[in-house]
Amino acid sequence: MPAFATFARARRSLGPRTAVVLGSGLGGATAAFAERASVDFRNVPGLVLPSVQGHGGRLAVGTWAGVPALLFLGRLHFYEGLPWSVITGTVRVAAKLGATRIVLTNAAGGIHPALAPGGLMAIREHIKLLQPNSWRELASSGGPSGPYSRRLLELMQAHEARAGCELLAGVYAALTGPSYETPAEIRALAACGADAVGMSTAIEAEEAARLGLEVAAISCITNKAAGLSAAPLDHAEVLANAQLSVGRMGELLGRLIATPLRE
């Protein structure tokens, strides 16, 4: 495939060690990224094209403010009818292409009172409700967990503090979708310690950690979760509100990409 061959040559030349996965509507966060080459997901072994609006399905290599990086423009979801082995394909591709650090981003609904549309949350732990009987398993599991790098979490908070912003380090609840949660489910998630809710990231983060990658994750808050505002939820709102924070998200991603790799 000529496109993949061009991409592969650029990747070998640049040698990126950090990969970024962009969630719904977050393509505008890439102003500092200078693309050298790209390829559609369908031309990358182990990946397929996303079917969700706001996920372009393209893998790019280039430099972010001069630092080599891999960029996944879009991701795959369980609710697209895909197995977990395909959903985590982006992570395995990143590792095979030499990445030792991955930054996962997503669009999420805010549960914590401080999280309004346009805000950001660094993920410190997650709750998984992705299988049958998940609520029962959660009750016996001891609560949230996750493989997120404390080093990168503290770096993100320090960066935001220097910019005069407070970055909440919170718990992300991962559900399967595609429907949004009910107000009763949101109340239950809040009682379990969740600060934001979405339909991705947790399994990818765990797969990345299993492969030895250092993991960071950021939620872009695109709406208040169900029952916490008067407006009904829809995907168009998610895509529109994602634009409120793409500048801040881009600066934070640039800081992470420029950070020296874990020894």
pLDDT at 3 over 90: no
**How far, CA to CA in Å, does 180 sit from each of 7, 90, 223?**
37, 24, 11
- Looking at per-residue pLDDT, the higher value among 226 and 182 belongs to 182
Q: Which domains does the chain have, with CATH numbers?
A: 2-258 (3.40.50.1580)
Residue 227 has pLDDT above 60, yes or no: no
What confidence score (pLDDT) does residue 153 get?
Answer: 98
Least trusted range by pLDDT, from 167-176, 210-219, 228-237: 228-237
Residue 68 has pLDDT above 80, yes or no: yes
Distance CA 179, CA 177 (A): 5
- Give me the pLDDT at residue 85, please: 95
Q: Binding site membership for phosphate: which residues?
A: 24, 55, 75-77, 107, 200
Tell me the average pLDDT of the chain: 91
Question: Which of the residue ranges 14-18, 21-25, 144-148, 193-197 would you say has the lowest mean pLDDT?
Answer: 21-25
Average pLDDT over residues 239-263: 89
Least confident of 124-138, 161-175, 190-204: 124-138
* Binding site feature residues for a purine D-ribonucleoside: 181, 223
The Cα–Cα gap between 80 and 76 comes to 7
pTM confidence score: 0.94
Mean pLDDT for the stretch of residues 110-124: 95
Residue 238's pLDDT band, with cuts at 50, 70 and 90, is: low
Query: Which residues belong to the annotated binding site?
Result: 24, 55, 75-77, 107, 181, 200, 223
pLDDT higher than threshold 90 for residue 245: no
Residue 231: the pLDDT is 65
3-state SS track over the chain: CHHHHHHHHHHHHHCCCEEEEECCCCHHHHCCEEEEEEEEHHHCCCCCCCCCCCCCCEEEEEEECCEEEEEEECCCCHHHCCCHHHHCHHHHHHHHCCCCEEEEEEEEEECCCCCCCCCEEEEEEEEEECCCCHHHHHHHHCCCECCCCHHHHHHHHHHHHHCCCCCEEEEEEEECCCCCCCHHHHHHHHHCCCCEEECCCHHHHHHHHHCCCEEEEEEEEEEECCCCCCCCCCHHHHHHHHCCCHHHHHHHHHHHHHCCCCC
Six-digit token pair at 85?
């082995």
